[in-house]
Chains A and B, each alone.
Chain A
Amino acid sequence: MSTLTSRYITAVSRAVPDSQRSDVEAEVAAAIADLSEAKLDGGATPEEAERSALLELGDPMRLAADYSNRPLHLIGPDHFPTYVRLLKVLAATVLPIATLAVIVAKLLTGADAGQVAAAAVTTLLQLAMQLAFWVTVVFAIIERSPGSKAMHPKWDPSMLPDSPTGRARLGDTVVSVLLALGVAAYLPWQHFRSPFTSLDGSPIPTLDPGLWQSWIPVLLAAMLAMAVLEILRYRAGGWSVKFVSVNAALNLLFAVPVIWLAAAGSLLEPAFVQRLVDAGWANADLQLNATIIVVTAGVVLWDVVDSLRKLPGDAAALALGTPGQGTAIPG
């Protein structure tokens, strides 16, 4: 037996289960002998005959897989839908929660803005890779375990994602407008009527009054514009690319200054923070700023993601000529 043939047979038999090994070895050897004999009869030299016989049998891994009826794919069509669905669910739940937790932990330990951002990004990337890797490993094992064909969850109509009903829902719109107006109203309210008063009875603003010269008007404008945008969107019947971009821009216009100021420690009025420290809240400065950053980032992220999520459905509904109007089901 020449080396090429014996190497081929070894390559095949190594890739089949122990129990079938000697059987398959004998069969492959007989097949190679038959095929090369036919080539020899056709006038080929022994080397050519052997080579073309091996070429005809092809990649030994593939042949071994055919012999032992093993899959040549990591995850087959039976489990692929479940696999993708699970990955999506994990990406939408575990990733943001864990990243947010890391941000909070970093802020509480007094990291600066750069460290927080770096930790958040590395956590997000590492976690995403770990999730994808381990879910894939588990599904690859399931794919290869006997009886797994019967195991994959049956598809059911109730698993269908929301259809492109689109439409601006009245409930959503009212909540969004109230939220925007509420934040906008809070800005002047905290300045004139704070629940905290100094010794002489005058109110202590929660936000640094110096910001009235710079950022507070911007924040106020962003929130008012947001309320207007929500109303316009409702009248238009849903999200469009234009509304989504403006919404994202307004969100950033609000969130970036707030997060930046909070991270730099210049958002809150020092006298207000001092009152809290005097009242026994030793880490008031750090913990308040951290909470503000997390909540702002969370709300803004959610709002932008939500608008993006609804965009395809609304666009489809608008294209069908059935814009929401007031007839849409609230909530």
Chain B
Amino acid sequence: MIDEDVLAGHQQELRRGTVVMAALATLETPGYGYGLLAVLEQSGLSVDANTLYPLLRRLEKQGLLEAEWDTTESRPRKMYRTSDSGRALLKRLESEWNALAGSLNNLRTTDPRKALKELP
């Protein structure tokens, strides 16, 4: 059996960074913090509220998200939207992600011992 703590640690490392991609992808449609939290939760990418809210602010500071206070509702909410540079970044990250997935699949399908033997 896998130790639960070990599993959780490695999962966390694997997921780190995917939240950024998920946020940039989801906020192509403008949304606010809690809405994004719920959407991510539903799609299986659960994030802690105390991780997501500061992250959104950081992405905004880096110019990857545009934000404005929406005051039309009963109380003010900060609406986020992916900016042009956010979209560009997402593209780069996605191709990186796909390249990684491809490499991993290659390693898993070819006999790893053979791959090592082919090295000079």
Whether A67 and B69, one on each chain, are in contact in the complex, defined by CB atoms closer than 8 angstroms, is: no
Whether A30 and B78, one on each chain, are in contact in the complex, defined by CB atoms closer than 8 angstroms, is: yes
Residues of B within 8 A of A30 (CB): 32-33, 75-78
Compute how far the CA of A27 lies from the CA of B33 in the bound complex, rounded to whole angstroms. 9
Compute how far the CA of A26 lies from the CA of B78 in the bound complex, rounded to whole angstroms. 9
Q: Which listed residue, A26, A34, A62, touches B50 by the CB 8 Å rule?
A: A62
Residues of A within 8 A of B50 (CB): 56-58, 62-63, 66
Compute how far the CA of A150 lies from the CA of B51 in the bound complex, rounded to whole angstroms. 27
Q: Mark A1-45, 1 if CB is under 8 A from B, else 0.
A: 000000000000000000000011011101101110110000000
Contacting A at CB under 8 A, from B1-55, are 32-34, 38, 48-51, 53-55
Whether B77 and A34, one on each chain, are in contact in the complex, defined by CB atoms closer than 8 angstroms, is: yes
Q: Does A213 contact B (CB under 8 A)?
A: no
Compute how far the CA of A31 lies from the CA of B49 in the bound complex, rounded to whole angstroms. 8
Q: Which listed residue, B32, B49, B76, B77, touches A57 by the CB 8 Å rule?
A: B49
Q: Does B57 contact A (CB under 8 A)?
A: yes
Residues of A within 8 A of B58 (CB): 69
Residues of A within 8 A of B53 (CB): 27-28, 31, 57, 63, 67
Residues of B within 8 A of A33 (CB): 75
Compute how far the CA of A69 lies from the CA of B55 in the bound complex, rounded to whole angstroms. 10
Residues of A within 8 A of B49 (CB): 31, 35, 56-57
Grouping DSSP codes into helix (H, G, I), strand (E, B) and loop, the A interface class, with mixed when no group exceeds half, is helix
Contacting A at CB under 8 A, from B63-120, are 69, 75-78
Compute how far the CA of A58 lies from the CA of B50 in the bound complex, rounded to whole angstroms. 7
Q: How far is the CB of B98 from chain A (nearest CB, A)?
A: 29
Whether A34 and B33, one on each chain, are in contact in the complex, defined by CB atoms closer than 8 angstroms, is: yes
Whether A66 and B54, one on each chain, are in contact in the complex, defined by CB atoms closer than 8 angstroms, is: yes
Compute how far the CA of A34 lies from the CA of B79 in the bound complex, rounded to whole angstroms. 13
Compute how far the CA of A66 lies from the CA of B49 in the bound complex, rounded to whole angstroms. 12
Whether A34 and B48, one on each chain, are in contact in the complex, defined by CB atoms closer than 8 angstroms, is: no
Residues of B within 8 A of A38 (CB): 34, 38
Compute how far the CA of A31 lies from the CA of B33 in the bound complex, rounded to whole angstroms. 7
Residues of A within 8 A of B32 (CB): 30, 34
Residues of A within 8 A of B34 (CB): 31, 34-35, 37-38
Q: Which listed residue, A28, A56, A69, touches B48 by the CB 8 Å rule?
A: A56
Q: Can you list the 3 inter-chain pairs with the closest CB atoms, starting with the nearest? A: A34-B34, A66-B54, A58-B50
Interface positions of A (Cβ within 8 A of B): 23-24, 26-28, 30-31, 33-35, 37-38, 56-58, 62-63, 66-67, 69
4 additional A-B residue pairs with CB within 8 Å, beyond A34-B32, A38-B34: A30-B75, A37-B34, A66-B51, A66-B55
